[in-house]
Amino acid sequence: MSPRTEQQFEDIRREKVEHIKLCALQLFAENGYDTTPISKIAKVAGISKGLIYNYFSSKEELLKEILISGLKNFISFLKIEEIDRIKREEIIAFVDGNLNLLKQNTDYYKLYFSLVMQPKTVQLLENEMRDVFGQIFEKFIHYFEQQGEDQPYVKARYLLAIFDGIGIHYIIDPERFPLDEIQEILITKI
Amino acid sequence: MSPRTEQQFEDIRREKVEHIKLCALQLFAENGYDTTPISKIAKVAGISKGLIYNYFSSKEELLKEILISGLKNFISFLKIEEIDRIKREEIIAFVDGNLNLLKQNTDYYKLYFSLVMQPKTVQLLENEMRDVFGQIFEKFIHYFEQQGEDQPYVKARYLLAIFDGIGIHYIIDPERFPLDEIQEILITKI
Amino acid sequence: MSPRTEQQFEDIRREKVEHIKLCALQLFAENGYDTTPISKIAKVAGISKGLIYNYFSSKEELLKEILISGLKNFISFLKIEEIDRIKREEIIAFVDGNLNLLKQNTDYYKLYFSLVMQPKTVQLLENEMRDVFGQIFEKFIHYFEQQGEDQPYVKARYLLAIFDGIGIHYIIDPERFPLDEIQEILITKI
Amino acid sequence: MSPRTEQQFEDIRREKVEHIKLCALQLFAENGYDTTPISKIAKVAGISKGLIYNYFSSKEELLKEILISGLKNFISFLKIEEIDRIKREEIIAFVDGNLNLLKQNTDYYKLYFSLVMQPKTVQLLENEMRDVFGQIFEKFIHYFEQQGEDQPYVKARYLLAIFDGIGIHYIIDPERFPLDEIQEILITKI
DNA sequence: CATGAATGAGGTTTCATTCAT
DNA sequence: TATGAATGAAACCTCATTCAT
């Protein structure tokens, strides 16, 4: 048996990291971060408690990595960087994307919303969140300016608030919340 | 120096209960329920840990009472029971009331939003919440029906979602969130 | 049963603190700081693990308090503050005191010697130790200056080193180490 | 490109063993045995954790080998076996050697002193230490007997204690401790 | 009614050691 | 020979809750 190559080790690491993050995300979303012990994550992931600490220096670090991954996914999925001419179609695509993401990544949003109110989380992600939401926010403002709205700042804030309102309500009651219909209304209004 | 009457005792008791609840609410809102120890509540309230257990059978019970008080306050402040003719003015009054409450009771909303995603909380308040929001929801539906909207259910859902979106964003950044301007927009739309 | 008075609480605290410190000192001295678990201290002290954390914020804090108590005891027993004229009798009294203390407080010295080499300990007690040993050291220098020695600094360093050498050897083998005879030799030389 | 001879393998092995021991010694001396994880030794040595266990059956075994090597070095450097006529020059050479060794092997002494108080260490090295120090001790006694001292046993004990006192103080503060001057004083006294 | 000492279950984290590759 | 993933025991520490006073 020849020793494993560096590549093999890296593969193992990456897979395990993803697996742990996924299990943890589900549990955090379902039961809350503080009320989910590491031991439970380990059990669900089918590994030992100790191994988690091979990959994440602490429970908080694990949380942070999950949240940051979610943000990155958000950015790449919505192609936020690429929206530069801020046309109507792009905004609509963004709205669509946002709500589609909500359907696909319910767990992430659940975690996100349950933590976003706590100062600890905000500190944890301060820079990352400022970056992402700052960008989106500016694009919305520009869009409303272009549209000739009189209070572009207010409108942008309002629209972002509506997104989160929809997000929360969908997450609380995904079965019955009429996401598709509301999506249409929202797009119509824009 | 006559011994206190039963009424006086009752008053003292009620005052103390309210005091504890208020302190606990602030701490829960600021640091989260799970990360706020009873000992800290006791310290802030200026009493001993043990005494809290004279008034509340457990930490969870304390949380529950806080949440229910908040709901009751919500109900009475918005006079939900009395809205029966569901006229436009009443809906507007409701919207105004709701956002005013948000400004006054920021702590409560902070706690509420940080917990509302967790199944434990939902269980805790299942009945109470169904009552309150069920009522509001029905009234909204009726209102939109009256207005001749084609999807009153969807619209009602949407409006409630918007409320919570505004709530969350105001709570996260109360200094800069343009609550008053958005309030106007919202009323205009209705 | 009337509630306990503040005085009673304070008495309990002081007693428990002393009891825990004593038990911990013995165990630390016997088995080393790092290899003595809190659980063992609790067992020996006849209390629960948790209670130790009522009185000491961490294991390291407990260690620190033990070491500082030892230093304070050292200071008061040897009346270091009062030695100001630095006469021969006083130095002799100091030597005697020092070695007597060694006999009585073997555990403390054991702990002290086993930790004094580790940077962590030095950091923990930096200020306290500088104070105490700085004073002693200066008095020794003055004494040797008075005696007309040509290298008072070197002599003072040497004497302190000898103390510690004797200390260590006595501690390692208290049964057979001829402390009394060496004490006499030391005094004769001074 | 001929395959390595057994001798070459042996050399490689010995070199690696020495390398690991050296790294471990430095870390143990700096941070303490118990607070130095194997993983850190591996990292500093530039090898994997697992490989350490190819050369040493356990962490304790590694410690033991380090300590025994130190003792052997001590013996061979001071040529303890060869001191048989116990003349004054030999004792002086021993004193000189001892203090020179201290300057060169500070790390070893640091480790040695930090562990020598703990029963575990004493057990680990019981036989070896008895041999070495027993021999030295006897020679000192003989020397003092030869010199006509009235308490040769006490004097020998005293001298050994002084060595260790000097050692400790030098280790704690190698920059300022006047080792050379004290060396002279010591030799003068003998 | 009021206190805080006391408990004990359970949480996070560390790390010596093993082992598949 | 060499790697580091993986384990599991055991460490430190927290805190809701109880209870004697």
pLDDT digits (tens, 9 = 90+) for C125-163: 888 888 888 888 988 899 899 889 999 999 999 999 999
Q: Measure CB to CB from residue A169 to each of B161, B171, B178 and give the nearest one.
A: B161
Question: How far from chain centre, in Å, is Cα B173?
Answer: 19
Of B76-85, B94-103, D148-157, the poorest mean pLDDT is in B76-85
Chain B residues lying within 8 Å of A120, measured CB to CB = 31-32, 35
Nucleotide nearest to B54 (CA to C1'): E1
The Cα of B8 is separated from the nearest Cα of chain A by a number of Å equal to: 39
Q: Which residue has the higher pLDDT, B173 or D122?
A: B173
- Which pLDDT band holds residue B64 (cuts at 50, 70, 90)? very high
* Residues of B with Cβ-Cβ distance to A185 under 8 angstroms: 154-155, 158
Comparing A167 with B118, which gets the higher pLDDT?
A167
Q: What pLDDT was estimated at residue A97?
A: 92
- In percent, how much of chain B has pLDDT > 70? 95
Q: What is the dihedral of CA B153, B155, B161, B162, to 10 degrees?
A: -160
Could you report the per-residue pLDDT of B30-61, keeping only the tens digit for each? 999 999 999 999 999 999 999 999 999 999 99
In terms of CATH architecture, what is D69-189? Orthogonal Bundle (1.10)
**Which bases on strand F have an atom closer than 7 Å to a protein beta carbon?**
1-21
Radius of gyration for chain C, computed over Cα atoms and rounded to the nearest angstrom: 19
Note the pLDDT of residue C66: 96
C132 with C75: CB under 8 angstroms?
yes
For B170-175, what is the mean pLDDT? 91
Decide whether D1-56 matches D69-189 in CATH topology: no
Average pLDDT over residues A14-23: 97
pLDDT for position C168: 93
Res D1 pLDDT > 50: no
Two tokens, residue A68: 């940051």
Contacts of B151 in chain A (CB under 8 A): 178, 181
Mean pLDDT on D107-131: 86
Residue listed under structure tokens 């103080």: D169
A-chain residues near B122 (CB < 8 A):
172
A109-119 confidence digits (pLDDT tens): 989 988 888 87
Report the pLDDT value the prediction gives residue D16, as an integer from 0 to 100.
95
A163 Cβ under 8 Å from any chain B Cβ: yes
Measured between alpha carbons, how far is B17 from B53 in angstroms, rounded to an integer? Answer: 11
More confident of the two residues B16 and B2 = B16
Residue range D41-51, pLDDT digits in tens:
999 999 999 99
Judge whether residue A63 has pLDDT over 90.
Answer: yes
Q: Is C134 on the interface with D (CB under 8 A)?
A: no
Q: Report CB contact under 8 Å: A157, B177.
A: yes
The overall average pLDDT reported for chain A is 90
> pLDDT tens for residues B111-155?
998 888 887 888 888 888 888 888 889 888 988 998 888 999 999
pLDDT at position B1: 46
- Chain D interface includes C68 (CB < 8 A): no
pLDDT band at C116 (very low <50, low <70, confident <90, very high): confident
Return the pLDDT at D6: 76
Distance of CA A3 to the CA centre of its chain: 39
Task: Work out the number of other CB atoms within 10 angstroms of the CB of residue C177.
Answer: 19
D70: its two tokens: 């130190």
Please give the backbone phi and psi of residue C33, each rounded to the nearest 5 degrees, phi first.
-65, -50
Beta carbons of B169 and A153 less than 8 Å apart = no
As a CATH number, domain C1-56 is 1.10.10.60
Residues D130 and A112: their CA atoms lie apart, in Å, by 65
Query: Distance in angstroms, CA of A52 to C1' of E15?
Result: 14
- Which residue's alpha carbon is at the shortest distance from the C1' of E1? B51
- The domain segmentation of chain C, as residue ranges, is 1-56, 66-189
- Report CA(B53)–C1'(E3) in Å, whole number: 12
Q: What is the pLDDT of residue C83?
A: 66
Q: Kindly tell me if the per-residue pLDDT of C37 is higher than 60.
A: yes
Residue A115 CA, nucleotide E10 C1', distance (Å): 23
Contact status of B190 with chain A (Cβ, < 8 Å): no
How confident is the model at residue D18, as a pLDDT? 97
* pLDDT (mean) for A13-27: 97
Measured at the CA of C166, the angle between CA C164 and CA C168, to 5 degrees, comes to 70
Report the C-alpha gap between A107 and A128 in whole angstroms: 20
B174-189 pLDDT per residue, tens: 999 999 999 999 988 8
Domain A73-189: give its CATH code. 1.10.357
Of D52 and C3, more confident: D52
Mean confidence (pLDDT) of chain B: 89
Question: Lowest mean pLDDT: which of B77-81, C53-57, D18-22, D97-101?
Answer: B77-81
Q: Residue C96 corresponds to which amino acid?
A: D
The yes-or-no verdict on residue A50 having pLDDT over 70 is yes
CA distance C85 to chain D (A): 26
- Bases on strand E under 7 Å from any protein CB: 1-21
Nearest-CA residue to the C1' of F1? D51
In 3D space, the residue among A129, A131, A127, A153 whose CA is nearest the CA of residue A140 turns out to be A153
- The shortest CB-CB distance from D157 to any of C113, C118, C182 is to C182
Q: Which residue is nearest to nucleotide F2 (CA to C1')?
A: D51
Whether A53 and A24 have beta carbons less than 8 Å apart is answered as no
**pLDDT at residue B83, as a whole number:** 65
Q: How far is the CA of D127 from the C1' of E19 (A)?
A: 35
Provide DSSP, B109-174.
HHHHHHHTTSHHHHHHHHHHHHHHHHHHHHHHHHHHHHTT-S-HHHHHHHHHHHHHHHHHHHHH-T
Per the model's pLDDT, the better-predicted residue between D98 and D86 turns out to be D98
Closest partner residue to C182 (CB to CB) among D31, D118, D154 is D154
* The predicted structure's pLDDT at residue A127: 85
Res B11 pLDDT > 90: no
Q: How far apart are CA A157 and CA A155, in angstroms?
A: 5
Average pLDDT over residues B73-96: 80
Q: What is the pLDDT of residue A139?
A: 87
Mean pLDDT for the stretch of residues A146-172: 93
Asked if pLDDT for residue D20 goes beyond 90, the answer is: yes
Cβ <8 Å between B164 and A165? yes
* Pick from B117, B158, B165: CB nearest A161: B165
Q: In this model, does residue C22 exceed pLDDT 90?
A: yes
**Residue B24 approaches strand F within 7 Å at CB:** no
Nearest to C161 among D114, D157, D169 (CB): D169
Q: Do D169 and C164 touch (CB under 8 A)?
A: yes
> pLDDT grade, residue C85 (50/70/90)?
low
Q: Please give the pLDDT value at position D83.
A: 65
CB contact under 8 A, C163 and D165: yes
- High-pLDDT (> 90) share of chain C, %: 61
pLDDT digits (tens, 9 = 90+) for D122-161: 888 888 888 888 888 988 899 899 889 999 999 999 999 9
The confidence score (pLDDT) of residue C1 equals 55
- For the segment C98-125, the average pLDDT, to the nearest whole number, is 88
A184 CB near a chain B CB, below 8 Å?
A: no
Q: Indicate the class that CATH gives domain C66-189.
A: mainly alpha
Say what the pLDDT of residue D48 is.
97
Residue C43 half-sphere exposure toward CB, CA atoms < 13 A: 6
Is the CB atom of residue D47 positioned under 7 angstroms from any atom of strand F? Answer: yes
pLDDT in tens, D23-63: 999 999 999 999 999 999 999 999 999 999 999 999 999 99
State the pLDDT at residue B160: 93
- Residue A169: predicted pLDDT: 94
pLDDT at residue C84 in the model: 64
Q: CA-based Rg of chain D, rounded to a whole angstrom?
A: 19
Choose among C143, C104, C187: nearest CA to D158. Answer: C187
A51 CB less than 7 Å from any atom of strand F? yes
Per the prediction, chain C carries an average pLDDT of: 91
Q: Is C92 on the interface with D (CB under 8 A)?
A: no
User: B129: which chain A residues are within 8 Å (Cβ-Cβ)?
Assistant: none
